[in-house]
């Protein structure tokens, strides 16, 4: 079996499978595509819907303390002034004046190439360090030997940023025929480059220094105009997050429902960010979908315990949709890098083929958002505490996750290529998507053994029609049964049901149930099939 770690071409294989089988297409492909935008094909639309549905059922329907919301995508522009997005929703942008490429300064790394003037030699089993001919100790070398900066190297963020910079440093040393010992590179973010260093750092596009601009703040919100006039007064924004909908409707929800603190408002919907460098397929796109929940708590509540509870809930949920614990980890944002209103943010990270990256952010946002909206709108954003007879502005714990990032994680974790034997014993390759039955786009494929034998097709059609009332199922009578199994393996269908001669000739009305992962087969009745689905698809 090949997995992310073993298959360096996993992303390529996934992108190809996604296109071939109708999970994901580039948007507007016949016009050459549009960078950062994607379409979800027939199987993709199902998988995405299942991710949303599972989250909604578990987050909203199956809890007593959370209600749903669907707010508009374009909101009053003042919402984004109050939230801080107009002033501060920026990424540091760097231009390469020669190639016209743009980079995010926090995803561009560089290092000074430092060469110790001393030399290190091996004498028999000994390593000897010398500065200008005299032998010195290693600590002396590190502390005293003169260091010369012979140039700079740069690389984009990746799993191998450090190695890449080191390799480039070695290449530069060779190119310049510099004498001495190359120091291990100290990786720095482009945001930390001094004005003197910027002209010396090579552009990743050209490999030459002198063309990169200093970073400047670039607001990522997409602007549009509302109404017939196109001037400053009609400017509005496509929302960059769904969260503000929950804050702006906080009052409406408490006034129209019976919620009491602590309670949450959840929303699933599209968000838009004019990302400088959309990349890694659907991981970072410009139009994406978020599933966010704002959990409002009393200002005196134990926010840390609540944050921990949500952190656990989110990890458990990811495992419940089939993501292996081995691919998940936590990243605690260092205190000094937290937004000023955040008390704590922990990201659940996923091991994607292109590196360990943020999947789900769980932030303790204090009462910042409600306070801001109270200030900017003049409308009190308070909840009346019956116990103390006081009005309080609640604090918030926010788990925010991207549907597309879960989608990609699920594909990465589920994809496998295996050598299997066909009916004649020949070894062939099978591609399989091990999707959890909860998420699989097709739950069951109904396959009549032969397509021109009416007794078989009638029974198969009847079963198919019955299943179709409750589940997404497929009827497939095209080609050899082995081929049909392979087709379903690639689509991630957990079970195939074959209607064969035993079904129609033997008592019991049983079918062959073939399991996608083990490829084992057993006989099963219709009632047992429905019971299996009831238990596994929830």
For ligand ATP, the nearest residue by Cβ is 402
Question: Which part of the chain contacts ligand ATP (CB under 6 A), choosing from 142-150, 204-212, 251-259, 399-407?
Answer: 399-407
Alpha-carbon distance of 66 to 26, in angstroms, equals: 35
Question: Which part of the chain contacts ligand ATP (CB under 6 A), choosing from 56-64, 327-335, 355-363, 450-458?
Answer: 355-363
Q: How far is the CB of 243 from ligand ATP (least distance, A)?
A: 8
Tokens linked to 445: 């494929």
Q: Dump the DSSP string for 147-215.
A: EEEEEEEEEESSTTHHHHHHHHHHHHHHHTT--SEEPPP--EEGGG--TTTGGGSBPTTTS-BS-BPPP
DSSP three-state, residue 12: helix
Q: How far is the CB of 241 from ligand ATP (least distance, A)?
A: 6
Residue 119 contacts residue 280 (beta carbons within 8 Å): no
Q: How far is the CB of 71 from ligand ATP (least distance, A)?
A: 16
Q: How far is the CB of 293 from ligand ATP (least distance, A)?
A: 11
Q: What is the DSSP letter of 335?
A: G
| Burial of 297 per CB tally in 10 Å (0-12, 13-18, 19+) | buried
Tokens linked to 214: 């200093």
Return the residue of 110, 250, 263, 360 that touches ligand ATP, per CB under 6 A. Answer: 360
Alpha-carbon distance of 452 to 450, in angstroms, equals: 6
Q: How far is the CB of 408 from ligand ATP (least distance, A)?
A: 9
Nearer to ligand ATP, 173 or 273 (CB): 273
Nearer to ligand ATP, 15 or 420 (CB): 15
474 binds ligand ATP (CB under 6 A): no
401 binds ligand ATP (CB under 6 A): yes
Nearer to ligand ATP, 215 or 402 (CB): 402
Nearer to ligand ATP, 51 or 463 (CB): 51
Nearer to ligand ATP, 251 or 284 (CB): 284
Return the residue of 59, 393, 400, 529 that touches ligand ATP, per CB under 6 A. Answer: 400
Alpha-carbon distance of 376 to 374, in angstroms, equals: 6
Q: How far is the CB of 44 from ligand ATP (least distance, A)?
A: 15
Note every long-range contact of 11-16, with CB atoms under 8 Å and residues 24 or more positions apart, other chains counting: 11/280, 11/281, 11/353, 11/354, 13/415, 13/417, 13/431, 14/281, 14/353, 14/408, 14/411, 14/412, 14/415, 15/281
Given phi > 0 = left and psi -120 to 50 = alpha, else beta, which region is 147?
A: beta
503 binds ligand ATP (CB under 6 A): no
Nearer to ligand ATP, 398 or 489 (CB): 398
| Burial of 504 per CB tally in 10 Å (0-12, 13-18, 19+) | middle
Q: How far is the CB of 52 from ligand ATP (least distance, A)?
A: 14
Contacts of 455 (CB under 8 A, 6+ apart): 504
404 binds ligand ATP (CB under 6 A): yes
Alpha-carbon distance of 205 to 200, in angstroms, equals: 15
Q: How far is the CB of 36 from ligand ATP (least distance, A)?
A: 8
Nearer to ligand ATP, 154 or 290 (CB): 290
Nearer to ligand ATP, 273 or 459 (CB): 273
Nearer to ligand ATP, 317 or 495 (CB): 317
Nearer to ligand ATP, 277 or 512 (CB): 277
Q: How far is the CB of 296 from ligand ATP (least distance, A)?
A: 18
Residue 315 contacts residue 328 (beta carbons within 8 Å): yes
Nearer to ligand ATP, 246 or 463 (CB): 246
Nearer to ligand ATP, 90 or 371 (CB): 90
Alpha-carbon distance of 102 to 96, in angstroms, equals: 6
Q: Is the bond leading into 262 cis (omega within 30 degrees of zero)?
A: yes
Contacts of 58 (CB under 8 A, 6+ apart): 317, 320
Return the residue of 180, 402, 448, 494 that touches ligand ATP, per CB under 6 A. Answer: 402
Given phi > 0 = left and psi -120 to 50 = alpha, else beta, which region is 453?
A: beta
46 binds ligand ATP (CB under 6 A): no
Nearer to ligand ATP, 128 or 217 (CB): 217
Largest CA-CA distance found in the chain, in angstroms, rounded: 95
Task: Tell me, by CB under 6 A, how many residues bind ligand ATP.
Answer: 16
Applying the rule CB under 6 A, the residues between 265 and 324 that interact with ligand ATP are 273, 275, 284-285, 288, 290
- C-alpha distance from residue 389 to each of 248, 302, 378, 392 (Å): 24, 20, 22, 10
Residue 483 contacts residue 430 (beta carbons within 8 Å): no
Question: Which part of the chain contacts ligand ATP (CB under 6 A), choosing from 145-153, 358-366, 438-446, 519-527?
Answer: 358-366
Return the residue of 361, 399, 448, 492 that touches ligand ATP, per CB under 6 A. Answer: 361
Note every long-range contact of 506-514, with CB atoms under 8 Å and residues 24 or more positions apart, other chains counting: 509/459, 511/463, 514/485
358 binds ligand ATP (CB under 6 A): yes
Nearer to ligand ATP, 280 or 468 (CB): 280
Contacts of 403 (CB under 8 A, 6+ apart): 48, 51, 52, 268, 288, 289, 290, 291
Applying the rule CB under 6 A, the residues between 81 and 100 that interact with ligand ATP are none
Applying the rule CB under 6 A, the residues between 227 and 246 that interact with ligand ATP are 241
Applying the rule CB under 6 A, the residues between 141 and 200 that interact with ligand ATP are none
Q: How far is the CB of 160 from ligand ATP (least distance, A)?
A: 19
Give me the residues that bind ligand ATP (CB under 6 A), please.
241, 273, 275, 284-285, 288, 290, 358-361, 400-402, 404-405
């Amino acid at each position: 079996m090949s997995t992310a770690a073993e298959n360096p071409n996993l992303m390529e294989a996934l992108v190809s499978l996604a296109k071939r089988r109708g999970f994901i297409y580039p948007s507007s492909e016949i016009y050459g595509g549009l960078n950062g935008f994607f379409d979800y094909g027939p199987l993709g639309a199902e998988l995405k819907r299942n991710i949303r549905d599972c989250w909604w059922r578990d987050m909203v329907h199956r809890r007593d303390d959370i209600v749903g919301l669907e707010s508009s995508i374009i909101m009053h522009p003042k919402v984004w002034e109050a939230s801080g997005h107009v002033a501060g929703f920026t990424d540091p942008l760097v231009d390469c004046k020669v190639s016209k490429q743009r980079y995010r300064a926090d995803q561009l790394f560089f290092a000074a190439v430092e060469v110790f003037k001393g030399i290190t030699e091996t004498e028999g089993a000994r390593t000897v360090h010398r500065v200008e001919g005299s032998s010195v100790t290693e600590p002396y070398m590190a502390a005293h030997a003169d260091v010369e900066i012979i140039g700079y190297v740069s690389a984009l963020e990746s799993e191998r940023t450090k190695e890449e910079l080191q390799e480039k440093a070695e290449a530069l040393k060779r190119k310049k025929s510099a004498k001495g010992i190359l120091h291990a590179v100290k990786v720095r973010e482009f945001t930390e480059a001094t004005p003197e260093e910027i002209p010396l750092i090579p552009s990743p596009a050209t490999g030459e220094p002198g063309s990169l601009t200093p970073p400047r703040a670039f607001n990522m919100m997409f602007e549009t105009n509302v109404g017939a006039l196109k001037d400053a007064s009609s400017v509005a924004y496509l929302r960059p997050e769904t969260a503000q909908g929950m804050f702006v409707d906080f009052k409406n929800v408490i006034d129209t429902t019976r919620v009491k603190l602590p309670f949450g408002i959840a929303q699933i919907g599209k968000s838009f960010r004019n990302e400088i460098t959309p990349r890694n397929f659907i991981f970072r796109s410009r139009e994406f979908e978020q599933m966010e929940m704002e959990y409002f708590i009393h200002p005196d509540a134990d926010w840390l315990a609540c944050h921990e509870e949500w952190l656990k809930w989110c990890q458990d949920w990811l495992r419940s949709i089939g993501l292996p614990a081995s691919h998940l980890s936590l990243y605690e944002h260092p205190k000094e890098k937290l937004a000023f209103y955040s008390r704590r943010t922990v990201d659940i990270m996923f091991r994607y083929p292109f590196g360990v990256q943020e999947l789900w952010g769980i932030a303790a946002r204090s009462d910042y958002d409600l306070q801001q909206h109270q200030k900017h709108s003049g409308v009190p954003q308070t909840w009346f505490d019956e116990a103390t007879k006081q009005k309080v502005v609640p604090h918030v714990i926010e788990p925010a996750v991207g549907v597309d990032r879960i989608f990609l994680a699920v594909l990465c974790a589920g994809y496998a290529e295996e050598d299997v034997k066909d009916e004649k014993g020949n070894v062939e390759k099978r591609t399989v998507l091990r999707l959890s039955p909860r998420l699989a786009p097709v739950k069951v494929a109904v396959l009549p053994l032969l397509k021109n034998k009416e007794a078989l097709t009638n029974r198969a059609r009847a079963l198919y029609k019955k299943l179709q009332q409750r589940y997404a199922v497929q009827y497939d009578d095209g080609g050899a049964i082995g081929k049909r199994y392979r087709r379903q393996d690639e689509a991630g269908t957990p079970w195939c049901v074959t209607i064969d001669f035993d079904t129609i000739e033997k008592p019991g009305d049983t079918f062959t149930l073939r399991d996608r992962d083990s490829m084992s087969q057993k006989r099963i009745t219709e009632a047992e099939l429905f019971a299996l689905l009831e238990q596994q698809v929830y």
